Amino acid sequence: MTELNLELNKNISGRYGEYGGQYIPETLMNELDRMTKAYEHYKNDPEFKTELHDLLVDYANRPSLLYYAERMTKDLGGAQIYLKREDLNHTGAHKINNVIGQALLAKHMGKTRLIAETGAGQHGVATATIAAYFGMECEIFMGKEDTDRQRLNVYRMELLGAKVHPVTSGSMVLKDAINAALQDWTKRVDDTFYLMGSATGPHPYPLMVRDFQSVISQESKKQLKEKTGKLPDMVVACVGGGSNAIGSFANYIDDPSVQLVGAEAAGKGVETELTAATVERGSDGIFHGMKSMFLQNKTGQINPVYSISAGLDYPGVGPEHAYLAKTGRAQYVGITDDEAVQAFEYIAKTEGIVAAIESCHAVAYVEKIAPKMRKDQIIVCTLSGRGDKDVASIAKYRGVDIDE
Amino acid sequence: MSKLTDAFKNQKAFIPFVAANDPDFEGTVNNVVALAKGGADIVELGIPFSDPIADGPVIQAADLRALKADPDLPMDTIFDMVKEIRKQTDVPLAFLTYLNIVFQYGYEAFTARCEELGIYGLVIPDMPLEERGELAPIAEKHNVDLIPLVTPISADRIEKIAAAATGFIYVVSSLGVTGERSEFANGLADLVNRIRKVTDVPTAIGFGIHTPEQATEMAQIADGAIVGSACVNIVAEYGHQAPAKLTDYTKQMKAAVNANPVR
Ligand SMILES: Cc1ncc(COP(=O)(O)O)c(C=O)c1O
């Protein structure tokens, strides 16, 4: 594997058109500034880059496979489908790419304590994992609703040595966990690094997370070239806050022939109140440190959101996605719970892969679009994680009662 | 001169806070009028936000109560509350809210309404110096001060923030979120002195102050004291009976900020 190019992003201003910025309490401004400067410094530091590379290869199991899904391709009868297998990474999702990068930066900044928010628990588990690896203290904030729903992941984090705080304020889900993590950080910035889990929040997070996740498209571009000699015609990834998607898009943004598609969680339907389809249903706003798109009411109160997938259950989207949507460079499509669950079962039966319910939102879109494309066209679809964690809830969705 | 700056003239200022629509429309009007009656120099009226990241449990709970009563709680309803308040008192008012609320209403329309109703300032915890540019010229046009926050770890940002300030400067007493405390950060006097070297704009310390003794101590350091959670607790406990209590509490605190400290 070649070293990760952290210089891909020429725009380091923290603004993506009108989106982005640092809308965050004064208490955190100096710390964000230190983080920005540290990142600018270390991303050019050969020693840092070598360490990052070694961790990605030796610890996270990179490069991840680019797998030709021959059965799916045949069955759907259109474009050739390649799956970027982030589900095969250590800890079972793309989250580890970002976590390694940020934790390494934290270490170089002299931080000894990592805090993070988590929804389903995937980012919490990844953060707890890297904290164990680096011997750092680790505290995870998780909505009380989610700690109740995801007891197994709570135990996993504790097993890895992290302390999990159930958050009982607000609606007790992911957005409240982010609020609580930000609040904890304002109390204790000197030794603490807030390890943000998606390409969201104030600058420099969207930039850093994009850079660390861009390993996905750096690899897929090279792998596809080796296999086919071509660029893909379309790249598809699911979008919660947007980290796996921005990483999947990053190396193709300047290739206009490559269509970029983000699959959002439509929940019970984009037109219903039970949705998390931010780009389609949301509007411009300012929240969690960024100007971006959010699901909110007319006054500007942030809406409760819904999706079967805890990892996509967020009322906003990273600022670069808002920009890509606004400029038309990327398209965002809503996938309902029903469609995602159907895709979960479909990819299991056709390819023998149990993929995360989040990732299956992208798979569901591929099922719709591939048959409409020509056989010489190519889709690269990111499988952001593996689906073991979802088996029990999918069974429940289908009315099957199994012991966890 | 700014009406908010004026409130600090010749005396130390006491600045209480209550949340709008807690417990309801009428209660809000009565609470603010009661604070004015007790001698408040400025009243901060909080516009509830679903996700108040700079606030501790007490004010978070007030915001939730306010929004539970009316999940949509239109900004125009809050402006109507101010209209009612203005029939009974001309106490200087400032809003405390999060930027999204102002952004959704529109910066121009929001600050124009503020000017019309005598809201002289906005405290917006998620709008640091670097992001005030999109709102500042519009607010200035409508004579609305953007009250900046300075914290014990603002370090070399202190002078930059102070230089841009109008109205007054909100000095955050300690790290973390709003809520009652028993201790404050060291070095607040140095922080205030650094501000005073750059500007004549007055300073008020907030976050955690609830007892008269604390108010006296903080008013020795700065030009005024801001009290949020303690007032909100009174509203939470007494509901529609809160106004009389708020008046009493304000009298006590107002005397405290202007008292000589017992050493
Ligand atoms: C497997 C998986 N995919 C996707 C996501 C969504 O996050 P993002 O949009 O940042 O990639 C999550 C979040 O928890 C996840 O666990």
Residue bearing the CA closest to ligand 1, atom 4: A358
For residue B75, the chain A residue with the least C-alpha distance is A299
- Closest Cα of chain A to B251: distance in Å? 31
Kindly name the residue from A43, A84, A95, A175 that is annotated as catalytic.
A95
Contact state of B172 with A27 under an 8 Å Cβ cutoff: yes
Is-catalytic flag, A95? Answer: yes
Q: Which two tokens stand for residue B200?
A: 């004549």
CA pair distance A23, A287, nearest whole angstrom: 7
What's the burial of A247, exposed, middle or buried (CB within 10 Å: 0-12/13-18/19+)? Answer: buried
- Closest Cα of chain B to A183: distance in Å? 6
Q: Identify the CA nearest to B44 among candidates B56, B57, B59.
A: B59
Q: Report the separation in Å between the CA atom of A382 and the middle of ligand 1, taken as the mean of its atom positions.
A: 11
Q: Each residue of B115-142: pLDDT tens digit?
A: 999 999 999 999 999 999 999 999 999 9
pLDDT for the residue A404 = 52
Is-catalytic flag, A384? Answer: yes
Residue ranges of domains in chain A? 29-59+95-209, 66-92+214-397
Give B46's strand partners. Answer: B19, B96
Cβ < 6 A, ligand 1 pocket:
A 93, 119-120, 122-123, 198, 238-245, 311-312, 356, 358-359, 384-385
Q: Identify the CA nearest to B122 among candidates B213, B132, B130.
A: B132
Fold of A29-59+95-209: Rossmann fold (3.40.50)
HEC-encoded secondary structure of chain A: CCCCCCCCCCCCCCEECCEEEEECCHHHHHHHHHHHHHHHHHCCCHHHHHHHHHHHHHHCCCCCCEEECHHHHHHHCCCEEEEEEHHHCHHHECHHHHHHHHHHHHHHCCCCEEEEEECCCHHHHHHHHHHHHHCCEEEEEEEHHHHHHCHHHHHHHHHCCCEEEEECCCCCCHHHHHHHHHHHHHHCCCCEEECCCCCCCCCCHHHHHHHHHCHHHHHHHHHHHHHHCCCCCEEEEEECCCHHHHHHHHHHCCCCCCEEEEEEEEECCCCCCCCCCHHHHCEEEEECEEEEEECECCCCCECCCCCCCHHHCCCECCHHHHHHHHHCCEEEEEEEHHHHHHHHHHHHHHHCCCECHHHHHHHHHHHHHHHHCCCCCEEEEEECEECHHHHHHHHHHCCCCCCC
Is-catalytic flag, A70? Answer: no
Contact state of B129 with A25 under an 8 Å Cβ cutoff: no
Q: How many CB pairs under 8 A join A and B?
A: 113
By Cβ distance, the residue of B101, B150, B157 closest to A299 is B101
Buried/exposed A352-374: b ≥16 CB within 10 Å, e otherwise: ebbbbbbbbbbbbbbbebbeebe
CA pair distance B106, A157, nearest whole angstrom: 43
Residue to mutate, A293, A384, A386, ligand 1, most ligand atoms under 8 Å from C-beta: A384
pLDDT for the residue B232 = 97
pLDDT for the residue B1 = 76
DSSP summary character for residue B48: P
**Closest ligand 1 atom, residue A92 Cα:** 1
At A374, the amino acid letter reads R
At A99, the amino acid letter reads V
CA pair distance B169, B34, nearest whole angstrom: 25
Can you identify the CATH homologous superfamily of domain B13-257?
Answer: Aldolase class I (3.20.20.70)
DSSP summary character for residue B149: E
Kindly name the residue from A217, A384, A389, A393 that is annotated as catalytic.
A384
Residue bearing the CA closest to ligand 1, atom 6: A240
Q: What's the CATH number of domain A66-92+214-397, 3.40.50.1100, 3.40.50.10330, 3.40.50.720, 2.10.25.10?
A: 3.40.50.1100
By Cβ distance, the residue of A24, A170, A299 closest to B126 is A24
Per-residue pLDDT of chain B (263 residues; tens, 9 = 90+): 799 999 999 899 999 999 999 999 999 999 999 999 999 999 999 999 999 999 988 999 999 999 998 988 999 999 999 999 999 999 999 999 999 999 999 999 999 999 999 999 999 999 999 999 999 999 999 999 999 999 999 999 999 999 999 999 999 998 888 887 888 888 999 999 999 999 999 999 999 999 999 999 999 999 999 999 999 999 999 999 999 999 999 999 999 999 987 65
Q: Helices A26-42 & A95-108, crossing angle to 10 degrees? A: 100
pLDDT for the residue A283 = 98
Residues ≥6 apart with Cβ < 8 Å to B187: B152
Residue ranges of domains in chain B? 13-257
Residue bearing the CA closest to ligand 1, atom 7: A240
Are the C-beta atoms of residues A288 and A316 closer than 8 Å to each other?
A: yes
Is A29-59+95-209's fold the same as A66-92+214-397's? yes
Q: Where are the alpha helices (DSSP H) in B92-174?
A: 99-105, 107-117, 136-141, 158-164
Per-residue pLDDT of chain A (404 residues; tens, 9 = 90+): 789 999 998 899 999 999 999 999 999 999 999 999 999 999 999 999 999 999 999 999 999 999 999 999 999 999 999 999 999 999 999 999 999 999 999 999 999 999 999 988 999 999 999 999 999 999 999 999 889 878 889 999 999 999 999 999 888 889 999 999 999 999 999 999 999 999 999 999 999 999 999 999 999 999 999 999 999 999 999 999 999 999 999 999 999 999 999 999 999 999 999 999 999 999 999 999 999 999 999 999 999 999 999 899 999 999 999 999 999 999 999 999 999 999 999 999 999 999 999 999 999 999 999 999 999 999 999 999 999 999 988 999 999 987 65
Residue bearing the CA closest to ligand 1, atom 13: A311
By Cβ distance, the residue of A27, A183, A301 closest to B50 is A301
Are the C-beta atoms of residues A35 and A24 closer than 8 Å to each other?
A: no
Chain centroid to CA A145: 21
CA pair distance B129, B127, nearest whole angstrom: 7
pLDDT for the residue A170 = 84
